[in-house]
Structure 1
């Protein structure tokens, strides 16, 4: 018997190898001889697809495994294998064995299952069952849980990204670009001799334009021109980097004593505040979660934090506009309520304080905690409990790509005790952890489901809420896709209940990953297909659309520093009439802090050069025609949605494009 074996090497930098590669075919009736594949040093180049013949004395029967081994030829040289295909004599189609793994080290060996997705109950041969068990045992030794800090979800047990297995590391191009891009941004500002001006205030608001040089975007420039406008302020609460805070207000909070007379001039003449509350046209953004957070100390200077409440009105002509702002949670004679009718600089500074709170909440809570760290729990549990042949592993893996490394980098470089947040952000240091713990005290699984979240916040009818509209459409498209895949492999609720690997996975998610999140509300077992579909929908939506909504606009909304300042250097004003331009400049970030804010938001928010767009599965874990058809339908629905979103935006002065599928990355990689 002669089997044709095709071996595909990865296409990223350094994927190829000059080492010896051996293959053994394992079938129901026996194994082939261990066969050395030809031409060490010549084959297995980056991107190569090489064909070989493996001879056997007899028919191996149904193929179960392909065993690959790598031995040092001259020097140790890692190898990334995409897949192996085997053509069996007498059969029309070949069998694909997905790999998408690194072989690292001399004498390393991997065994690959044929690409057909199978649950544990569908494996009958002892070799198949033993392979699943051995794979998970090895993974559970490699991927372990760690409590990074009390009161927040668990994470991967690695001190630095260098401790991660090569299979979940950035590829070389991604790693080089990640390091280089931040250096480029900081170097550009250093060359202008601005980043070294610690503690020095800008002289005037126009001086912030001095850091707009090569680092710019059309939306960042639009923000620079329009950031003072009340309508633009309201727009950002709907479609900026933190579009999840606004809620319908049916009754004013007891700690926000706004009277009808105060805001009457902001309403249309024929109505009252009481009437508009009843109609559902009044909205609230409440940053109570940052109340009492200890402020950072930067270069011996204490920074300042406020916990503002902002009342907004959906004006029939002007759109959503702010009508009252209180900068502290406890009203008293020294806590004024700022109004649009106040002196212009006082009203402007009040809005800046709201935007400052927005920076803290969107960076730490909406972005880092509610996307990155939530998905990390899923990632670790998936690696620990779902073998590569499992259909749910195949579904989720492309949406978990690079997430472990970017999260470790975030913990060590961004939010660590000596990270970037500690150097320039008012909640950096101790405050950041307290803020995170507060968020997880109230985080719910329900709030990660956009349809329920919009319903609970009472914003299903709010006009101009493009984030909501596009998120709802994406949720439906993802649900169609997930439902299609799940229905291929689970014909009934009972099959979900009886899948031991799947149940071990959800138990690990709920009882390990989210064990310190008291009100999360995710059950530790799955009892139906619908429950499984909803959870997978949450995971894919969070790792794609929700991350894009909170990450991709960072530079657009934060590059013009006065619009969304990372820190405030003076306390909130107590006297409206005492607000001067000098006070505003002394309150806003200093020159050095402004430079770092601009650089880091560009670095994190820019389009990634190696990004894989949503729905593009370059690593083909599924091989069955039925699954590939579902994926193809998913791509077509995303393309239709893309065209619909682009048509909606045509002619708009301020376009909302963050949730265009082509601009959404398939996983959290930044």
Structure 2
């Protein structure tokens, strides 16, 4: 013990570990409702705290950034062990445990530390939050090592686990003693491209979407491989074996490899558990409910609009024998939160004004475009004709019955839009080229008003499917994953661009893997409850062919859709054609703030275009993004060449915009608008009845029943609502735009100052948005539903708030 307390030549450190979350949704079977806080939880087993975190269970060795061994690598110090036991250390928030460690380290001979090796001698993993070195000579203040990584039993690793201090270096400025460590760590993350991957491997690699189908289970569940002949962004490789019936498809399993550090955060796991109680219940109850509906034991249809409202007012009443089998929560177990769109008015959704307003301020406000051949700049179109026409022949052979739609709208003097006509198109049954189309005009009385309401429903069903498959899944979740993989494979944690982008990747690979498991897979939620049915992902692939990375930047998108015109006299160089376009007005302020922050940050590390071109890691990163991550589009001429500072700034701004603000726009309005199925139906089951048919007579006699028999039925409604209510919520550990989860993410003062300015600008924008929402002259901000456009307010509380911009695609 004498050596332990001899501090004369030691550096004192403080290590923070996090307990593994016993409420992890992957380990629900271990939960018994009460947490024993006298124990430290690691792995899936309770370990006595004294034996787990004392003695010689976790060792660390410092690595010098300024003194090298003969082989050129930084000098490595002696092993030091965590001191004390968890029972003697105050428990920090979220189950963190803090320990002292003292290193034998002579600054004169060993130099300044720049990294450390850690070895976990326990056979279970723990989450390493940070190491802080205090009183390092020649340095003002503590030295921080921000780790945020799971550390497994050291024998499973072929190479040592290494963590670097929070310094920032482009490759050619890296201290020489750390160069080989930097390069070795990237090599580990790339892997060798072979074998099945396990959580401790930490490997980031590419694969095609070949795991959506399940042909071994059922031939009807076979699905095409997306990536290659059917273009698609790449996803993370798992290395699972091929299916027996299709060697090109990957065998599905309950456990999907995602690099361990990409898993949900500690608090999010417990939040998701509580939010998913209803969803978990749904996976248990809904199949039984479907049987009840199919067997007519329970009504399969809503019979009136009031019937739909009962989902929020009293819940779906289940038979007592069903309740006794599945739950003790009561008869209204399937009661849903009241969607924002009907909180003030139950009928505003039916108006033409709200129908049109939601194209500018709804859950999918990024698809409407101006008819640019018309000089008056007054005509706009929501055009889903070409997207669905080539698939309608197959879709309409399923239980779906749909049109490909176009909606024409006129911009009135008060800045609102008025729908003029809806074109409903079907393919020729004989296979002729072209379409069979009819045009429905607005009407307010008689059967014509019902036909108009049904035409709007068909247009919305098209839009709902497009929103979920394209605006949401493809244009955020899917296209960002290759950037995440390429960043981890090619940009060291020391690299400035890695530090810039990392917060905007949080949880995305994990949520995408979960989506492949239960949302976009064969027979999954999307195929059950959306128009595209089993062709949904093929539709997504068809649209990806025309995806253009530079056009994902908001200004470029607005110009392309004719919703804005370049104008050098405007502050941001754009003039909106519809001045009261809430998504664009709020979005441009957020975009400009992101762009300014990125420009200030990037310019600190790249003074010239030459510096960008000579950065070897940066060039390797971009080459992989294009040639591997988006391999099917690699020959497109629009890809930035990544040779200039402006290309780097624009590309990083676009990535951040997609992952933060744009995803917030198309995600967190899902339940506020789509939670009321009458407003945002996801399915159409029959075409508009022709005169002389029983369906036409029903439409005349009972318009509500005709509408309900056309749109999403009861079972699929419950499936849809159960999912989007969860997807529209914020977890309690969410990190929002302008925030970081650790204040010591960088040691560069000018970077910290620039980031502070970014946060201050976002606070100013939040005030601006709130003021606009209270301006009675801006009619599109609230509309007939009296629903303010709040989704781009940067911050939020936990829960279903219809506001808040998380840093990343985290749900």
TM-score computed with the length of structure 2 as normaliser? 0.74
Residue 289 of structure 1 pairs with residue 387 of structure 2: yes
Partner of 1:21: 58
Q: Does 2:265 align with 1:171?
A: yes
Which residue, out of 455, 470, 482, partners 2:559? 455
- C-alpha distance in structure 2 between counterparts of 1:217 and 1:496, whole Å: 48
Q: Is residue 600 of structure 2 the alignment partner of residue 552 of structure 1?
A: no
* Separation in 2, partners of 1:576, 1:178: 51
Change (3 A) 1:382 1:39: same
Partner of 2:531: 426
User: Hey, what's the Cα distance between the residues in 2 that align with 1:283 and 1:294?
Assistant: 24
Q: CA deviation at 1:519?
A: 7.7
Aligned pair partner of 1:346 in 451, 461, 473: 451
Q: What do the CA deviations read for 1:117-140 (whole angstroms, capped 9, x no partner)?
A: 001100241x31111111111000
Q: Name the Cα RMSD after superposition.
A: 2.8
Confirm or deny: 8 A CA contact 1:223 1:557 kept in the other structure.
no
Q: Equivalent of 1:658, from 781, 791, 802? A: 791
- The aligned residue for residue 475 of structure 1 is 591
Distance 1:218 1:24, change over 3 A: same
Give the Å deviation of 1:404: 0.2
Flag the structure with more relative contact order, 1 or 2, with Cα contacts below 8 A and sequence separation at least 6: 1
Q: Give matches, 1:86-97, under 5 Å.
A: 86-89=134-137, 91-97=139-145
**Contact (CA 8 Å) 2:486, 2:621: kept in 1 or not?**
yes
> Of 281, 293, 300, which aligns to 1:197?
293
Encode CA deviations 1:502-558: one digit per residue, 9 max, x unaligned: 000000001111111378655364111100000000010100100000000001111
1:585 pairs with one of 708, 723, 733 = 708
Preserved CA contact (<8 Å) 1:9 1:47 = yes
1:327 aligns with 2:424: yes
Structure 2 unaligned spans of 5+: 1-8, 23-39, 43-51, 68-74, 192-202, 210-225, 241-253, 314-335, 429-433, 564-575, 776-781, 796-803
In the alignment, which residue of structure 2 is the partner of 1:68?
A: 118
Corresponding residue for residue 170 of structure 2: 119
Taking a change above 3 Å as real, the CA distance of residues 512 and 31 of structure 1, as seen in their structure-2 partners, is closer
Residue 366 in 1 paired to residue 471 in 2? Answer: yes
Whether 1:35 aligns to 2:80 is yes
Structure 1's 219 and 85: CA in aligned 2 closer, same or farther, altered over 3 A?
farther
Give runs of aligned pairs for residues 254-403 of structure 1, distance below 5 A: 277-287=374-384, 288-293=386-391, 302-317=399-414, 319-328=416-425, 335-341=437-443, 343-403=448-508
In 1, Cα distance between the equivalents of 2:265 and 2:409?
Answer: 46
Following TM superposition, by how much is the alpha carbon of 1:479 offset from its aligned partner in structure 2, in angstroms?
0.6
1:234 — aligned with what?
A: 356
Residues 134/574 of structure 1: CA separation in 2 closer, same or farther (3 Å cut): farther
Q: In 1, are the aligned partners of 2:415 and 2:579 still within 8 Å (CA)?
A: no
**Partner Cα separation in structure 2 for residue 566 and residue 178 of structure 1:** 25
Report what 2:236 is aligned to. 156
Aligned to 1:266: none
Could you say which residue in structure 1 is the equivalent of 2:731? 608
Distance 1:43 1:644 in 2: 49
- Answer whether contact 1:386 1:502 (CA < 8 A) is retained: yes
Higher mean alpha-carbon deviation, 563-572 vs 99-108, is at 99-108
Q: Deviations over 1:431-456 (max 9, x none)?
A: 11221111111111232011111112
Which whole-Å deviations, capped at 9, do the CAs of 1:258-317 have from their partners, x for residues lacking one?
A: xxxxxxxxxxxxxxxxxxx4311111111021113257889x962123210100011224
- Report the Cα distance in structure 2 between the residues aligned to 1:540 and 1:237, rounded to whole angstroms: 24
Contact 1:231 1:318 in 2 (8 A): no
Counterparts of 1:563 and 1:423 in 2: how far apart (Å)? Answer: 19
Output one character per residue of 1:344-383: Cα deviation in whole Å (capped at 9) or x when no partner.
1000000000000011000000000001111111111101
Contact 1:9 1:16 in 2 (8 A): no
Residues 434, 90 of structure 1: alpha-carbon distance in 2 compared, 3 angstrom cutoff: closer
Question: After the TM superposition, which of the residue ranges 396-405 and 340-349 deviates more from structure 2?
Answer: 340-349
Larger deviation: 235-244 or 335-344? Answer: 335-344
Tell me by how many angstroms 1:175 deviates: 3.0
Query: Structure 1 residues 147, 188: CA separation in 2 closer, same or farther (over 3 Å shift)?
Result: closer
Query: How many Å separate the matches in 1 of 2:309 and 2:627?
Result: 50
Q: Structure 1's 92 and 458: CA in aligned 2 closer, same or farther, altered over 3 A?
A: closer
Superposition pairs of residues 449-528 of structure 1, within 5 angstroms: 449-459=553-563, 460-517=576-633, 521-523=637-639, 525-528=641-644
SS of 2:545's equivalent in the other structure is helix
Are 2:402 and 2:685, in contact at CA under 8 Å, matched by a contact in 1?
Answer: no
Question: What is the TM-score normalised by the length of structure 1?
Answer: 0.89
Alpha carbons 1:284, 1:309 under 8 Å: kept: yes
Counterpart residue number, 2:722: 599
Name the CA shift for 1:79/1:218 in 2 (closer, same or farther; >3 Å).
Answer: closer
Distance 1:333 1:117 in 2: 59
Structure 1 residue 601: Cα displacement = 1.5
| Mapped contact 1:282–1:311 kept (Cα < 8 A) | yes
Is 2:139 aligned against 1:105? no
Q: Give the match for residue 633 of structure 1.
A: 757
> Which residue in the other structure is 2:132 paired with?
84
Q: Which is further off, 565-574 or 302-311? A: 565-574
> How far does residue 624 in structure 1 lie from its aligned partner after superposition?
1.5
- Aligned equivalent of 2:546: 442
Asked if 1 retains the 8 angstrom alpha-carbon contact of 2:256 and 2:513, the reply is no
Shift of 1:220: 4.2
Is residue 13 of structure 2 the alignment partner of residue 5 of structure 1? yes
Q: Which consecutive unaligned segments of at least 5 residues does structure 1 have?
A: 252-276
Shift in alpha-carbon separation, 1:333–1:480, aligned structure 2, 3 A: closer
SS at match of 1:6: strand
* Deviates most, 582-591 or 466-475: 582-591
Superposed CA deviations along residues 476-509 of structure 1, whole A, max 9, x for unmatched, are 0001111111011111110000001000000000
Q: State the secondary structure of the residue aligned to 2:419.
A: strand
Contact 1:445 1:520 in 2 (8 A): no
Which segment is superposed worse, 98-107 or 405-414? 98-107
Q: Deviations over 1:598-632 (max 9, x none)?
A: 21221111233332111110134222211111111
SS at match of 2:110: coil
Q: 1:62 to 1:250 in 2, by over 3 A?
A: closer
CA contact (8 A) 1:185 1:215 kept: no
Tell me, yes or no, if the aligned pair for 1:143 and 1:380 is still in contact at 8 Å: yes
